[in-house]
């Protein structure tokens, strides 16, 4: 009856920052936009009758280049959404491992039976995604072709069911890279068969997955607000190393006074990161009275040298973005002359020049509203 190319969304903030942004919306990274262009090229010579997406910004943006090129609308369907992770939403995976050790262990071993409060099971997600795939097949009609963008866990849960495997084998399917493609055929009776799955041959090596393993693996840092005086020595050690990296003098007594005053005003503005119980870095938010009231300053991100260049600084950025959003700030700025790690993060998240403040680069923290009608 119909062919459906089931696509995982492009790389987004949650992927880069190692946070559980399932139903929480997330910004698209520079790498994500490059992946979308590669996806557009992959489908350049394939006729398409309908384009579908979950209501997540990262999903809509994945097919936006294809939709614009062909002047086709994107049909936004909430049944294409990701699994719900309940109270874990927008938490760092490293924090989840520390705060929910039993549930996190179960997630790694038996993800199909997620029991976190507010979460959905893989079977529930599989049922709703397969229902939507059959509806899409009817809409594009016999011999029609559709693109449908969904999410990692929803896709592998549905594939497990379609392949007549018990959900206990879902881990064996793995999960495709961002923008990976699975081709499904839906016949007139609604039976679905898999032609191929999780193919990312359109991506060059530099656009493929940066992280290995699954959520809860050793790549995930936990980030917690610094508490003084208990963590005085840890903070001063990190701050001194950061000053040395920047070629700046360091006065421990003065720094500590400033940190204490900042934390009295904003208890979460300095945070320390941990990887496998080792201290790995810190992030500090700042204040600049010259900035607009809706703008927050990300003053410092420092990661220990052995982890530099490996994507860990993004997890510090994830903490900062989370805190600023919950403080109702709309913009995040960083100093244009930041360290190499800070510059890399600004490039990955497409920071722009800040009008009236040339010393800063800025990022709008929220996704634009969906330009299409959202239907169940």
The CA-based angle 262-265-268, given to 5 degrees, is 75
For residues 77 and 170, what is the distance between their CA atoms, to the nearest angstrom?
24
Fold match between 2-210 and 222-364?
A: no
Long-range contacts, stretch 210-213, CB < 8 angstroms, 24+ apart: 210/311, 211/15, 211/18, 211/311
**Nearest in space to 24 (alpha carbons), one of 52, 48, 58:** 58
The predicted model scores a pTM of 0.95
Instruction: Give the contacts of 207 (CB within 8 A, at least 6 positions apart).
Output: 31, 34, 35, 38
**Nearest in space to 218 (alpha carbons), one of 314, 94, 345:** 94
What's residue 210's pLDDT? 62
CATH code, residues 2-210: 3.40.50.1240
pLDDT tens digits in sequence order for the chain, 376 residues long: 899 999 999 999 999 999 999 999 999 999 999 999 999 999 999 999 999 999 999 999 999 999 999 999 999 999 999 999 999 999 999 999 999 999 999 888 898 888 788 899 999 999 999 999 999 999 999 999 999 999 999 999 999 999 999 999 999 888 899 999 999 999 999 999 999 999 999 999 999 976 543 334 578 999 999 999 999 999 999 999 999 999 999 999 999 999 999 999 999 999 999 998 899 999 999 999 999 999 999 999 999 999 999 999 999 999 999 999 999 999 999 999 999 999 999 999 999 999 899 999 999 999 999 989 999 8
Inter-residue contact 270 to 235 (CB < 8 Å): yes
Where in the chain are the domains?
A: 2-210, 222-364
CATH code, residues 222-364: 3.40.630.30
């Amino acid at each position: 009856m119909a062919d459906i190319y089931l696509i995982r969304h492009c790389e987004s903030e949650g992927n880069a920052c190692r946070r559980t942004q399932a139903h929480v919306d997330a910004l698209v990274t520079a790498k994500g936009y490059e992946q979308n262009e590669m996806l557009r090229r992959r489908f350049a010579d394939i006729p398409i009758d309908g384009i579908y997406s979950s209501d997540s910004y990262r999903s809509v943006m994945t097919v936006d280049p294809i939709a614009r090129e062909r002047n086709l609308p994107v049909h936004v369907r909430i049944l294409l959404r990701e699994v719900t992770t309940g109270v874990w939403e927008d938490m760092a995976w490293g924090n989840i491992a520390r705060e929910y050790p039993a549930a996190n262990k179960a997630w790694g071993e038996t993800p199909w039976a997620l029991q976190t409060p507010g979460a959905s099971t893989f079977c529930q997600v599989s049922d709703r995604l397969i229902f939507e795939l059959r509806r899409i097949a009817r809409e594009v009609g016999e011999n029609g072709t559709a693109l449908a963008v969904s999410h990692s866990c929803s896709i592998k849960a549905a594939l497990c069911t379609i392949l007549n495997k018990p959900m206990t084998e879902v881990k064996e399917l793995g999960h495709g890279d961002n923008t990976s493609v699975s081709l499904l055929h839906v016949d007139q009776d609604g039976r679905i068969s898999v032609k191929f799955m999780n193919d990312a041959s359109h991506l060059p090596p530099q656009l493929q997955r940066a992280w290995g393993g699954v959520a809860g693996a050793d790549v995930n840092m936990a980030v917690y607000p610094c508490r003084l005086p208990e963590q005085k020595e840890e903070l001063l050690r990190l701050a001194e190393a950061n000053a040395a990296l920047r070629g700046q003098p360091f006065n421990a007594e003065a720094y500590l006074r400033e940190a204490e005053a900042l934390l009295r005003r904003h208890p979460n503005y300095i945070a320390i990161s941990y990887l496998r119980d080792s201290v790995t870095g810190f992030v500090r938010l700042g204040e600049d009275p010259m900035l607009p009231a809706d703008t927050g300053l990300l003053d410092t991100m420092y990661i220990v040298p052995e982890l530099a260049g490996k994507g860990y600084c993004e997890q510090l950025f994830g903490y900062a973005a989370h805190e600023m959003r919950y403080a109702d700030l709309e913009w995040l700025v960083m100093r244009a002359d930041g360290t190499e790690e800070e510059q890399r993060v600004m490039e990955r998240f497409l920071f722009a020049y800040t009008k009236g403040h040339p010393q800063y680069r800025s990022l709008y923290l929220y996704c634009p509203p969906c330009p299409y009608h959202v239907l169940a």
